[in-house]
Structure formats: structure tokens, C-alpha cells
Chains A and B, each alone.
Chain A
């Protein structure tokens, strides 16, 4: 199979675009998709300081690598969740990437260790507060990434969410008609008020397969194993279902999510609406000061419950 653009040997076939590309042309394709995402949603400029949320997985490390390569000022934050060998290995991958790749760009890595800072790993916290581990993890990561971005004066926080993540999330929200969540499913959430970092998803135009291919081609050493806590998650079921549809009808995921974004943009100025809604309903948490719609934010409520359970347990 030959590259559609230059006739060198192809390394990947992308049925959704009906093309096959060689290493160099595929790399340019990926960079173009990221540039397009950044520009179309006004995510950031080369003057901005970006904090990338890294996990050691393919998406976040690839995002960090691409942003640095494209000339952006990108540091990263890793949250060590204390999930046994999985966290040990993922932290090693992040550290190795920092030392071998990011250091050359003078980029920095911040690390937040949950066991050290909160006194227990994410599984123990989930048990104490009687919540699913993935939900507890989500609250923890959202809180810590926002906190570090705000405290360290980053202009924007970037996550490695890809087209598969967004299409699966959209499918889940539509299947359950969670319309409130639909409003917020955009690749750019503004820093609507003090204490809230701007959040962006520069990989939303790329599939997981394309991102993994980029990682392999550029020898980005990421953790291939899935988080043991994710087994049986609904997101994985939605992704498998969408990939079955994609095999039958290439471009399904792309059309599903990008058409949703187009319609959302036509119906409203999505980001302005989100910012206005946030300003109306959010205020500082009475405990930590981060924005919340309740008196005490969900993170502080969770931690208070965990401390209470630990003291009485």
C-alpha cells in the first residue's frame, strides 16, 4: 500500500478519510488536525502557558509531545492515584518521557501524589465515600488539575480527550438524554470566573487509533495496559459499539461528534452561554475557595466524608 500523497510506503490506512499515509505525511496530517482544533476553538496561542494533564497513556503523552513540537509552552501535571503496580508503571512512563523528551523543550512536570497529600489511594477513598472508583478518580483529577492550573498561573489546561472519547460520551449523554451535560460537551470550556481554569481538548479531531499510531511512529513509550479500575465501564461499551458501526460505515464517529458541534454552534454561542450560566450559579466553595454550585464543593464533601469514615472506621 502506498501513501496517497507522496507514494512512499504507507504505515496507516484511514477509511474515514479514504486515504493511506506514510510516516511523514501522517505526522503532518496529525499536526494539521491539532492546529485546526486549536485555531477553530481559539484554545491558546504560543504566548500562553499550557498545563497538560498527563496519565502515562497514549493520548496525554502524545498531546504533550505534539504541543511542544508545534512550539507551544506546555508543562504537565501527573496525578499519582496510588493504584498499585498500574500507578507505579504509569508514573515511570511519565517521568521517562519528561527526562527524554520534555526536558529538551525546557518543559516541567508537576506531580500530585494522592496517597501522600490525601492520606489514602483512590481505591481506599472510593471505599470510604461509597462511590465508584472511576467517579472518585474523576472528582480528584478535575479538582487537582484545576487547582494547579489556577495556583501556578497557567492560562489554559489541556487534556488528551480524543474523537472516540467525545463520541462515546455524546452517545452516553444522548442515550440517557442528559441535556445539561450536552451543553458542556465542547472542546473548549472558558475560564468563566475566578478559580476556574480554561479547559481545552486539542485532540478531539483525532481517533484513538490515529493517536496510538502517532505514538508508535514517534516512539512515545506509553502505558499500553488499561487502568484495572476501568474494567466493565460504560464508556468502553460505547466505544466498542461505535467501532462496530465505524467498521460498517467509516466516518460514523467523526460525523456524529463534529456534526453535533456544528449544530451546537449554530443554536447558540455555546461558550458564551456556558460562561454566563457559570457566573450565575457558581460561587467560591466555603472550604477551599474553588468554584462550586453548592456551599461546599464536591471534592471537599468527598474528602470530609472520607476523613469522617476513616475516623469512625
Chain B
């Protein structure tokens, strides 16, 4: 999938294998502000947060319905939510 075809704000695709297949990337939803991006796996949770410049204390990382810890390896097939936990005015 490419940036043009999915309309997401950021796409980091790995090079296509032999020029025939385009490798799918992990879908990541970030809340507050809402952002949908694609990131190539595999990657650890802590690397993902670092790459997106997000403070671990301010977010939870959820795979499906499950919380995952920062050493968890995320794969291309995963759907990930990075949920902001900060609230209040």
C-alpha cells in the first residue's frame, strides 16, 4: 500500500521485494490528536514510541483489545492503537 492509495498522513514502506510485491505495514492509530499511520514491522513497542517521539508515560499501546508492554514485538499484520491518557483542562 502506498501513501497515495491509503491517504494516511505518514507511510514508511520497506522496498518492494523483487519489484513485484509491496510489503504491507502495520496500521497504527494515534489518539489526541487523531492520526492514522502505517509503520513497517517488526518493531518493538518502545521503538515505535521513540520513532513517533511519544512519551511512554503519556500513552498506552493496545493491540486488538489487549495492552502490550514496551518489549512486545509488533508485526506488519497488527492493528495498533496508541492511546493518549492525558486529560483535563
Contacts and interface: CB of A to CB of B under 8 A. Distances in A.
A217 interface: yes
State which size class the interface on B falls in: 20 to 34
B88 A209 contact: no
State which size class the interface on A falls in: 35 or more
Contacts of B68: 11
Nearest to A2: B69
A1 interface: yes
A134 B89 contact: yes
Contacts of A75: none
A57 B87 contact: yes
A208 interface: yes
Interface string A128-159: 00000010010000000000000000000000
A224 B31 contact: yes
Contacts, number: 85
B85 A58 contact: yes
Contacts of B72: 1
Contacts of A227: 87, 89
A271 interface: no
Contacts of A246: 55, 57
Interface in B69-89: 69-72, 83-89
Interface stretch (A183-191, A234-242, A275-283): A234-242
Q: Is the interface of B mostly helix, strand, loop or mixed?
A: loop
B53 to A, nearest CB: 12
A213 interface: yes
Given A13-B69, A208-B85, A239-B86, A225 B58 contact: no
Q: Is the interface of A mostly helix, strand, loop or mixed?
A: helix
Contacts of B89: 134, 137, 227, 229-230, 233, 235-236
Given A244-B55, A247-B57, A165 B31 contact: no
Given A10-B69, A235-B88, A243 B55 contact: yes
A226 interface: yes
Interface of B: 31-32, 55-60, 62, 65-72, 83-89
Given A13-B69, A226-B32, 19 more contacts: A10-B69, A11-B66, A12-B69, A13-B70, A134-B89, A168-B88, A207-B57, A212-B60, A212-B85, A213-B67, A216-B83, A217-B67, A227-B87, A230-B88, A235-B89, A236-B86, A236-B89, A243-B55, A243-B57
- In the complex, the 5 A-B pairs of residues with the closest C-beta atoms, listed nearest first: A230-B89, A212-B85, A233-B89, A11-B67, A134-B89
30 contacts: A1-B70, A1-B71, A11-B66, A11-B67, A12-B67, A13-B69, A20-B69, A58-B87, A165-B88, A168-B88, A207-B57, A209-B57, A209-B58, A212-B60, A213-B67, A216-B67, A216-B83, A224-B83, A226-B32, A226-B84, A226-B87, A227-B89, A230-B87, A233-B89, A235-B88, A236-B88, A243-B57, A243-B58, A246-B57, A247-B57
